[in-house]
Each structure stands twice: as C-alpha cells, then as structure tokens.
Amino acid sequence: MDLFARACRLQLTAIVYGHRGASIELPENTLEAFQRALELGADAIETDVHVTSDGHVVIHHDDTGARMACARRAVAECSLEEVQRWNVGFGFRDRRGAGISDSSYRAPTLEEALAAFGDVRFNIDIKTHRAVDSVLRVVERAEASDRVLLTSFHDDVTRAIRLLGYRGRTGLARGEALRALALPAWAPRAVRPAGDHIQLPVEISGVRLARPRVIRRLQALGYRVDFWVINDPRLAIATVAAGADGVMTDDPRTIVPAVHVENL
C-alpha cells in the first residue's frame, strides 16, 4: 500500500503551519503571505519576530534586511518607521526563480498581524532575548495567549518566556529539544524540559527523526511533535502517517490536501 493510500485509510490529519505564510507564493512574513496560506487551508501561521530600536515587535526572519529587502542594517538598529520603508518583496523568488516588480510588501508588526487574523493560531519564533518582554506585552494586549505558541531556537529565550509567566503554550529551544530526544519515555517529569511542543527537522545528520518510535516516545513525554519544513507531499504524508502532530510548509497549496486527507 503506498503512502497516500495508507494515509487515506487511516484518516490521518495534522496541523499544517504556513511557514512564514505561503512563502513559496508571496514574500515571506507579510500579511499577504499569511492571508494566502489561510485561503489555501493552513491551520496556523508560523512566523518570526524581532524588536526595533524604538521597541516595536516586527515580523521579520533575519537579523538584517539584506536578504529580503536589500537593506543591510539590523532590525534592532532601526526604528519601526525605517523597517516599514523596506520593500521586503525584493528578495522573493517564485517557483520558477523569478522575482516580482511589486514594491508594496512591508514587514508588519506583530500587533497588526494578531489583529488582522483574530481567530488564527500563531507559532512565533522569537529571535532575540531582547524581544521577549515586548512580545509578551503585545500578545497579552491582544488577549491572544490561547492561540499563540511562543518558541525560539535559543534556550535563554524560552526560559525567559516561562519565567515571565506566559500563560500560553511554549515550544522547546534547540538545547531543550536535544535533551528531550535523549530521554526515555518513562523519564520523570522533573527531568523533562519544560514546554508543550517539540519542533524538529525530519532528520539531523542523516538520522531520521520523523519515525513512529521517536514520535511516540516524545508524545509519551507530553509533547506535541511538529516537523519543518516540508514541501514534498509524499514526505508530508509519510511524516503524518508516522504520527506527527503538525507539519510546517512553505507550500500550503500542495501540502494541505496531502495532509488533510479527510477533505479529499
């Protein structure tokens, strides 16, 4: 039985996160990319945040605007006004590798995004420790902690999120995830890294993580298990068939129908 037939037979489904929105179709981390991902059936938006020099939380992946906006200054060195003058569509390339002439794409604030998509779940990767306080204030003002998962690659950031009493879900940082991967399913709760989601690549250094045994063990430890970034529908189906709770993709148009098999 092939993977697609197996997924259909088992009626498997998982959360599909639009990775920086539908970033294969529109410039990443823009309101337009988020809207497109949702129109294509994504269940949640995965995005990234920095804080500007004047304290605003802005949605942008890189430390600087060089890749997406041909602006070499760091977000942290710029005011919000300066960042929002950037054309973040400059670095976009479509499926054929072609750019776009539209220069209207801007980096939104987190506040704008939460307001624009008031009932949508967000997975927010906080890029720097400096941004933690500001992010928590924005999420609290928006009364959005029930739909916002906060995470980071940096252990000091996730620790700060929890120490400051964030009421919503948190993900495991890189070091925390590596410790969780090393634990047996019966490990005492006291030694398990705090957090609700563990988000992993499909494989690390040739070792496949998207396997039933690995996923079941992490779920037994109390984590939801998500994988990134998957743009191949067969890989998405295999990952969900292995038991994954969620997959992140740049390409919701392709991955949503593969993963949400009950809709076919």
Instruction: Return the CA Rg of the chain.
Output: 18
Q: What are phi and psi of 177, to 5 degrees?
A: -65, -40
30, two tokens? 């823009």
Beta strand pairing call for 64-65 and 71-74: antiparallel
For residues 136 and 18, what is the distance between their CA atoms, to the nearest angstrom? Answer: 22
The 3-class SS string of 122-180 reads: EEEEECCHHHHHHHHHHHHHCCCCCCEEEECCCHHHHHHHHHCCCCCCEECCHHHHHHH
- Give which of 197, 209, 204, 206 is closest to 171, Cα–Cα: 197
For residues 27 and 257, what is the distance between their CA atoms, to the nearest angstrom? Answer: 22
Residues with a known catalytic role: 19, 61
For residues 18 and 245, what is the distance between their CA atoms, to the nearest angstrom? Answer: 15
For residues 247 and 256, what is the distance between their CA atoms, to the nearest angstrom? Answer: 10
CB 135 within 8 A of CB 126: yes
- Give which of 47, 50, 54, 18 is closest to 35, Cα–Cα: 18
